């Protein structure tokens, strides 16, 4: 038998954030009523896949995430990326040799670029007291290592000090998802103790807010989140004002005791005269220290786009602030122009391979994961291959735990509408991850049950068409919502993820699960190629998870 041949389509269902773990009170996956998934795992070929650490190009024992997971699935390769790519740039000193770093330092230390003639300022955006030129930093403020790492911020602050910068402000986007949900006081204390190492410098946290409320929207789901961050950082405006970040956290937790860090409202730090201590002004530089693109691209656009329709920036223009990204946030538009680390380049992706073989393909998800199943899956590119189409369903903007079924039904409806029109369909169901990040166990159980119903619907139709349904995940989350002490856990996990081949065709007798030493997400692309009747996949891809008999 040289190749497989299915009459119907191959559907790859990526259950975002659904890992494998022992049953327990915090395992929403095992606690959910999922009759279809249970039967599929018992009856059909299956294997557990590595989806974290070195298996997806990250540092050893580092939890996986949706970005690197989809990169790995869609490229068939293990590519050094994410934090490991950035760590290497810091270790070699490449960060500080970049033109972007040098430009930011020059902006705030050279009088010809940093000083402002207030007498010549008449426009409303500048109608304020202009502080000495300041180097600002903003980004997700934790050591989660998924979007950013506080150690990178500290290294840059120290280097800036050595290069003569004495006024630094930090705009902290609180995490609570890749780290424990109420852990921000630890990071505030860590950074403030670090800043005291430079007694002759003026280094302070100037503002803050949770990643789900302030600055860090993604996939243009809610531009008001970005606008709120702009007001906080640039205009010094928010609903709350405090004299320190520590006071902010303590007070906000008194107001709402159970609020997670990711949902903390925006606030501004003020001085004894109740004036903001760190607005981003004309002549300043801002380094956004996230290396993951999805929660960085929108704020990058706000600071760098000339034509910007999403909210009012007053009379601001991109010449006014020197904006630097940790890396490139959009490989097609090359935003931002100034970046500390050059992006990785991913070639020979699955979508391009299928396009070259005239195999039609469709990608479907809702807004919160649409970029993952398209941009990241396609090697950090929005370019479509020949015969490739994308469908996006608008996500709810309400808190995920209040709509835990998310858009499962609508996504599935679109899959079924198009099932007979494409040979390969990839779909992402976000509930395990997005609801899982709230650590609301009952809501995540509902999310899993909604996904199970959707998979059963797709399976029934693929049976009729003579196709197959492949079920996998990009990383773990929903299977471990409590830590060992019984506290809520909102972060991803290092657990393995499932890979199940639901196939009731005659092809089922023609292949078996291969005996691989370390099967992982990088083995999926070649497996899809084989299922689609293609054995000439690129040599750089990892070998398939199945072998023909």
Give 216's DSSP letter.
-
Distances (CA, A) of 182 to 264, 266, 297, 432: 10, 16, 26, 21
Catalytic residue among 52, 66, 75, 381: 66
Cβ pair 214, 228 in contact under 8 A: yes
3-state helix, strand, coil in the chain (%, to 5): 35, 15, 45
How many Cβ atoms are within 10 Å of 167's Cβ, its own excluded?
18
Q: Is 170 exposed, middle or buried (0-12, 13-18, 19+ CB in 10 A)?
A: buried
H/E element, 69: helix 66-75
Cβ pair 495, 22 in contact under 8 A: no
Cβ pair 71, 379 in contact under 8 A: yes
The question of whether 347 is a catalytic residue gets the answer: no
Residue 312 backbone class (left: φ over 0; alpha: ψ -120 to 50; beta: rest): beta
Q: In terms of Cα–Cα distance, which of 549, 502, 521, 374 is closest to 8? A: 502
Distance CA 520, CA 55 (A): 6
Q: Which segments of 289-439 are extended strands (E)?
A: 322-325, 361-366, 388-393, 424-429
Cβ pair 449, 408 in contact under 8 A: no
Cβ pair 240, 268 in contact under 8 A: yes
Distance CA 265, CA 276 (A): 17
Q: Which segments of 444-526 are extended strands (E)?
A: 468-472, 497-503, 511-513
Active site residues: 66
């Amino acid at each position: 038998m040289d190749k497989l041949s299915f009459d119907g389509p191959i559907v790859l269902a990526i259950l975002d954030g659904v890992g494998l773990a022992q049953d327990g009170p915090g395992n929403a996956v095992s606690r959910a009523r999922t009759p279809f998934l249970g039967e599929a795992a018992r009856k059909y070929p299956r294997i557990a896949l590595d989806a974290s650490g070195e298996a997806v190009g990250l540092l050893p024992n580092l939890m996986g995430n949706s970005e690197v997971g989809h990169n790995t699935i869609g490229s068939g390769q293990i590519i050094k990326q994410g934090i490991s790519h950035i760590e290497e740039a810091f270790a070699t000193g490449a960060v500080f040799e970049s033109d972007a770093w040098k430009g930011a330092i020059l902006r705030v230390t050279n009088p010809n670029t940093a000083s402002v003639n207030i007498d010549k300022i008449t426009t409303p955006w500048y109608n304020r007291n202009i502080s000495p030129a300041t180097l600002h930093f903003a980004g997700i403020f934790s050591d989660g290592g998924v979007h950013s790492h506080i150690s990178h911020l500290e290294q840059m602050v120290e280097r800036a000090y050595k290069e003569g910068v004495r006024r630094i402000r930090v705009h902290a986007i609180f995490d609570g998802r890749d780290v424990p949900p109420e852990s921000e006081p630890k990071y505030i204390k860590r950074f403030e103790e670090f800043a005291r190492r430079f007694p002759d410098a003026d280094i302070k946290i100037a503002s803050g807010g949770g990643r789900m409320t302030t600055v860090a929207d993604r996939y243009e789901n809610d531009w008001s989140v970005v606008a709120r961050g702009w007001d906080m950082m640039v205009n010094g405006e928010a609903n709350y004002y405090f004299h320190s970040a520590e006071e902010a956290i303590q007070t906000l937790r008194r107001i709402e005791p159970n609020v997670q860090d990711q949902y903390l409202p925006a606030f501004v730090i003020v001085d004894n005269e109740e004036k903001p201590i760190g607005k981003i002004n004309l002549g300043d530089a801002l380094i956004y220290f996230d290396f993951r693109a999805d929660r960085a691209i929108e704020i990058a656009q706000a600071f760098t786009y000339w034509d910007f329709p999403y909210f009012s920036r007053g009379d601001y223009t991109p010449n006014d602030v020197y904006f630097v990204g940790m890396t490139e946030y959009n490989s097609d538009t090359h935003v931002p122009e100034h970046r500390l680390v050059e992006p990785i380049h991913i070639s020979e992706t699955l979508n391009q391979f299928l396009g070259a073989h005239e195999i039609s393909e469709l990608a479907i998800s809702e807004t919160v994961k649409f970029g993952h199943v398209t941009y990241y899956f396609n090697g950090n590119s929005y370019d479509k291959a020949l015969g490739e189409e994308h469908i996006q369903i608008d996500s709810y903007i309400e808190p995920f735990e209040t709509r835990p079924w998310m858009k499962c039904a609508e996504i599935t409806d679109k899959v079924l509408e198009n099932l007979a029109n494409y040979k390969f369909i990839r779909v992402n169901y976000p509930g395990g991850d997005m609801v899982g990040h709230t650590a609301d166990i009952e809501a995540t159980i509902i999310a899993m049950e909604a996904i199970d119903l959707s998979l059963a619907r797709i399976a029934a139709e693929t049976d009729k068409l003579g196709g197959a349904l492949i079920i996998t995940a990009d990383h773990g989350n929903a299977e471990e919502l409590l830590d060992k002490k019984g506290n809520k856990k909102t972060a991803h996990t290092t657990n393995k993820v499932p890979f199940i081949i639901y196939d009731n065709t005659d092809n089922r007798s023609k292949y078996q699960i291969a005996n691989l030493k370390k099967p992982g997400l990088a083995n999926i692309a070649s497996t899809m190629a084989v299922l689609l009747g293609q054995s000439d996949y690129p040599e750089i891809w990892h070998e398939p998870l199945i072998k023909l008999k």
